[in-house]
Amino acid sequence: MFELNRHKSASVRADVLSGLTVAMALIPEAVAFAFVAHLAPMVGLYGAFIMCLVTAVFGGRPGMISGATGAMAVVMVDLVDSHGLSYLLAAVALAGVFQLLAGAFKLGKFIRIVPTPVMIGFVNGLAIVIFLAQIGQFKTKGLDGEMHWLTSGDVQLMLLLVLITMAIVHFLPKLTTAVPASLVAILTVTGIVHGLDLDTRTVVDFLRNMSGDEAATIAGSLPSFSIPAIPMNWDTLYVVLPYSIILASVGLIESLLTLTVVDEMTQTRGQGNRECLAQGAGNVVSGFFGAMGGCAMIGQSMINVNSGGRGRLSGITAGLMLLVFILFAASFIEMIPLAALVGVMMMVVLGTFEWATFKMMRKVPKHDAFVIVLVTVVTVFTDLAIAVFTGVIVSALVFAWEHAKHIEAKRTDTDGRTLYQLKGPLFFGSTSSFLELFSAEDDSDDVVIDFGRSRVCDHSALEAIDTLAERYLKLGKKLHLQHLSEDCKKLLTKAGDLVEIDLVTDPTYRVADDKLA
C-alpha cells in the first residue's frame, strides 16, 4: 500500500533515529498545547501519537510530522471552557469528516493559489511563534497562577545548556552524519545535567509546574475507544459545527503549507489531496479515542528532515516511540532537561526563518514586501488561517488593481471603419478603463474591436461590452469583435442575449463562429 522509504535518500537507520528525536521533542509541545486548550496533558499526548502515526502511514508527504498544535489549541479553548471535553471530541471528529470531504473532492490543489509572498510570511511568522514559545520555557507558574521569569541564576544555566545544545546541532554534522545531531545534543545535555547534578528544569518539572500537581507524570495507558457523551440533536450540532469548520480549515491550511515547505526542502512533491484524507482520518480517530487531534507541525517536521528523516518510517517511529514513552519509559523522558529541547527548537527557528527576506525586501515589488510583512505579523498576533486568508485576499486585490491599469487600445480609421486594437485583460477591475478608451460619437458607422492581444475574462467584461454596444446602437452604429480566443467565444455564447453584437469573420485567424455570426 505504501513504501516506508520512498525518498531516494531515505534509509531505515536515519528514519528510525530521526523519529526517536522527534518523539522526544513532541512531548513538551503536546503537553504545552494541551494546557493552552485547558485540557489534561494526556489528551494532548494521545493527540500527538494518533495524528503522528495515522498521517505517517496514510499521508501524502513522507517525512512530515503531525501532532497536537497551538493553532488548533487556541480555537478549542472556548468550546472546552463552555461545554467540556466531550463536545471538543465531537468537534474534532466532525472536523476530520470535513477534511476527509476536502480530500475526496480534491480541494488540496487550491493550496497552489497561495502566492510566494504569503508562503514566506507564513514561514517567518511560524518561526517567530516557535521562538516566542521557547522563550516561555524560561518562565514558571507562580502561586498566583501567573507566569514569572525564573531567577537569574536559573536563566543563565538554561541559556548555557541551550547554547551547548545549539552548538552540537550546528557543528556535529560537519564531523559526521552517522547519527542525528539533535538526538546527540539531547542525550549529551541530559548526561551533563544528571552527571554534574545541575539544578535545571526537566520535562517532568515543566509538567508538574503547569498542572499544579506534584505527582503529575507523562506515564499513561493505551487510549481507549469511546463515543463522545453528548446529546445527539440539532442544538449540539449548532454548538459544535462552527468550531469544526474552523478546526478543519486551520488544520488543512497549516498542513498543506507545511507540506509545501517540506517539498522545497527535500526537492520532492507531496500529494495534497492524500494529505487532506490522512489529516481527516487522524482527527476522526482522535475524536473517538479521547485525543485533541491536530495537524502538521512545521517545527517537528524541520527536526525530522534535518535529522535525515525522509520516509514514512520516520513518522511511524516518532508516533510509536511516543507511545512507548507513555507506556514504558516515562521516567527516562521526564529526565530530559527542557534546555536541550529548547536548544533543538531554537535551531529549528534559525533554519525555518527566511533570512533572505531582508535582502529581498529591496528587490521585490513594494506590494509583495507588504504582503510578506502583513502575513508575518498576522500569524504572530492572530492565527495561521486568518493570516493566510488575509495574505491571499490582499495579493489578489493587488493583482487585480495592477492588471486593471494594463488595458489600452490603439485607434485607427481606414476605409470608413474605426479599428480599436485592444491590449490587456478585460475583467471586473478593468471595465471602467475599457469603456473610457472608446469615443462613440467620433467613430465611423462600423467599429471593430480587435481582441488579438486581449481576453474577455468574466461576467463584468460581458456587461462592459454590452454597455459599449448599446452606446453605438443608440448612435445607429454597429460594433464587431474579432480575433477572439476559443474560451472567449464560449463565454460570449453562454452570455446569449447579454451581448448584442456581431462577430466579423477573421480570414487570417479563422476565429469566426457560425453560432455567433
Give the model's pLDDT for residue 500.
Answer: 44
**Cα–Cα nearest to 321, from 2, 26, 68:** 26
Q: Parallel, antiparallel, or unpaired: how do β-strands 478-482 and 502-503 relate? A: parallel
Element (H, E) at 105: none
Give the model's pLDDT for residue 517.
Answer: 37
Residue 434 has pLDDT above 60, yes or no: yes
Domain 405-503 listed as CATH 3.30.750.24: yes
The stretch 238-265 carries a mean pLDDT of 91
Band the pLDDT of 494: cuts 50, 70, 90.
Answer: low
Give the model's pLDDT for residue 476.
Answer: 87
The stretch 232-260 carries a mean pLDDT of 92
Q: Report the alpha-carbon distance of residue 515 to residue 517 in Å, rounded.
A: 6
Give the model's pLDDT for residue 217.
Answer: 86
Residue extents of the structural domains in the chain: 12-330+338-352, 405-503
pTM (2 d.p.): 0.76
Give the model's pLDDT for residue 438.
Answer: 92
Tally Cβ neighbours within 10 Å of residue 109. Answer: 11
> For residue range 52-108, what is the model confidence (pLDDT) as tens digits?
999 999 999 999 999 998 888 888 988 998 999 999 999 999 999 999 999 999 988
> For residue range 280-324, what is the model confidence (pLDDT) as tens digits?
999 999 999 999 999 999 889 999 998 889 899 999 999 999 999
Give the model's pLDDT for residue 480.
Answer: 85
Give the model's pLDDT for residue 510.
Answer: 39
Give the model's pLDDT for residue 126.
Answer: 82
Amino acid occupying residue 62: P
Element (H, E) at 262: helix 234-266
Q: Is the dihedral of CA 102, 108, 113, 115 positive or negative?
A: positive
Name the maximum alpha-carbon separation found in the chain: 98
CA distances from 453 to 249, 406, 481, 482 (A): 39, 12, 13, 11
For the chain, the average pLDDT equals: 86
Band the pLDDT of 498: cuts 50, 70, 90.
Answer: very low
Band the pLDDT of 345: cuts 50, 70, 90.
Answer: confident
Amino acid occupying residue 252: L
The stretch 263-278 carries a mean pLDDT of 91
Task: State the alpha helices, DSSP H only, in 136-233.
Answer: 152-175, 181-195, 203-211
> For residue range 376-413, what is the model confidence (pLDDT) as tens digits?
999 888 877 788 889 999 998 988 888 888 889 999 98
Write down the residue that cell numbers 518539572 correspond to. 205
Band the pLDDT of 493: cuts 50, 70, 90.
Answer: low
Give the model's pLDDT for residue 315.
Answer: 95
Burial of 427 (0-12, 13-18, 19+ CB in 10 A): buried
What is 413-438 written as a DSSP string? EETTEEEEEEEEEESTTTHHHHHHT-
Q: How many helices (H) and strands (E) does the chain have?
A: 20, 9
